[in-house]
Structure 1
Amino acid sequence: MSKVKKHSDKSAPKGQIRIISGQYRGRKLPVLMADGLRPTTDRVKETVFNWLMPYIQDTNCLDCFAGSGGLGFEAMSRGASYVTLVELNKPAAQQLKDNKALLQADSIQVVQQNALDFLKNNQQNYSLVFIDPPFRKGLAQQTAELLSEKGLTDDALIYVEMEADHNEQTMPSHWQLLKEKVAGQVIYRLYQNSVV
């Protein structure tokens, strides 16, 4: 019986993400190919981090739907001082912990929890937030609403990725749209929290 289990573990589908730049440049990290997990493509990631380059140093970063951790690990590699990865899927969260250990990245925290529940109980303010939730569940707007109540520094940057054909989810009125781009089925935007 243990042989069967061992075989199924080995055959569990895995992919990988690549860290594009910074301290861990070129490192490849294994990721689970879990249902609904869509690692941000290198092309999109490169654009996003070009947008963020002037601001990322020493940020306190939150990745709300971490999945593969591609955005959070990239932020850490490029100079974020602390990164919190929130992921509901237990095996995916375990893979994030394994990759944290692989990189020996003590400034990364992995939280296995529903992102909305995490935000409801959050006591920290983040200066950089990634919102890249599973599609077609309205989670981007729900997450933004919770963050706008608490959890952001006054000038925080917020990256939001959602499906291009379902982008009527509205963001808080005090979030200023800085950048926007469409890549295939995905629309991605960079906002700044502008609390007067």
Structure 2
Amino acid sequence: MRIIGGTLKGRRFNPPKNLPVRPTTDMAKEALFNIIQNKVDIEGLNVLDLFSGTGNISLEFASRNAAKITSVDLNYGCVNYLKNTAKECNLNQIKVTKGNVFKFLSTETAQYDFIFADPPYDISKIPDIARLVFERNLLTENGILVVEHQSLQNLEGHPNFVEKRKYGYSTFSFFENKNSSNNI
């Protein structure tokens, strides 16, 4: 796992092999951040990283000076790895929360400029992510939600769906706040 941009560009991280993760590939992550950078100024964003795993996406946002990153994962090993890595790199804008993402979304009241979700591909509740984000009004005006999922799954039925980008077996589905003038 490596950081592809920002102050930590080129830095490699070696998370423990026993973590139950499927990190976003460098190619897909680079494509994702190219899309994001063309749409919003990452510096100063308030980001929510759901199913954060090793923190690959959280660390990338922090390297690019996002103001605040909330990372949520259920696995104790992943949470500790990301906490320790953020501390080691002096990335104080990362706040790591251990918890069930769906329970978190059901009770969260803060709003975020950007929400990224990379759930395990085998869970059936992936479509609930967009539903909960928009029902709970968790995106700011001009806010963007990106859900990474297997390419065979289709999330286009949600009214806030904008587009999808496919990278091998993975797809990024983009959603936006309908009050937004930011078109992806």
Distance in 1 between residues matched to 2:53 and 2:15, nearest whole Å: 8
Secondary structure in 2 aligned to 1:61?
strand
Counterpart check, 1:136 vs 2:111: no
Verify: 1:177 aligned to 2:162, yes or no.
Answer: yes
RMSD: 1.7
Q: CA deviation at 1:195?
A: 2.9
Deviations 1:100-125 (A, max 9, x none): 11111111100010111111111200
Alignment TM-score, normalising by the size of structure 2: 0.89
Q: Would the aligned equivalents of 1:138 and 1:169 in 2 still touch at CA under 8 Å?
A: no
C-alpha change, 1:88 and 1:191, in structure 2 (3 Å) is: same
Pairwise CA distance, 1:48: 0.3
> 1:131: how far off?
1.1
Q: What is the Cα deviation at residue 177 of structure 1?
A: 1.1
| Alignment partner, residue 49 of structure 2 | 63
Match of 2:69 in 1: 83
SS of the residue 1:182 aligns to: strand
Aligned residues: 177
Match of 1:41 among 25, 41, 58: 25
1:23 aligned counterpart, secondary structure: helix
User: Percent identity, aligned pairs only?
Assistant: 29
User: Residue deviations 1:22-70, cap 9 Å, x none?
Assistant: 0111122232334641110000000000001141221100001101111
- Out of 78, 101, 119, the position equivalent to 1:115 is 101
Deviates more, 1:82-91 or 1:70-79: 70-79
Point out where structure 1 has 5 or more consecutive residues left out of the alignment.
1-16
Structure 1 stretch displaced more, 131-140 or 66-75: 131-140
Q: Distance in 2 between matches of 1:50 and 1:29?
A: 21
Residues 176 and 144 of structure 1: CA distance in aligned 2, closer, same or farther (over 3 Å)? closer
Structure 2 gap segments, 5+ residues each:
none
Secondary structure at the counterpart of residue 103 of structure 2: helix
Give CA deviations for 1:1-35 in whole Å, capped at 9, x if unaligned. Answer: xxxxxxxxxxxxxxxx1111101111222323346
More moved, 18-27 vs 30-39: 30-39
- Note if contact 1:141-1:170 (Cα within 8 Å) is conserved in structure 2: no
Deviation per CA, 1:54-93: give whole Å up to 9, x if none: 4122110000110111111111111211000101000111
Aligned 1:17-32 pairs, distance under 5 A = 17-32=1-16
1:168–1:181 Cα change, 3 Å: closer
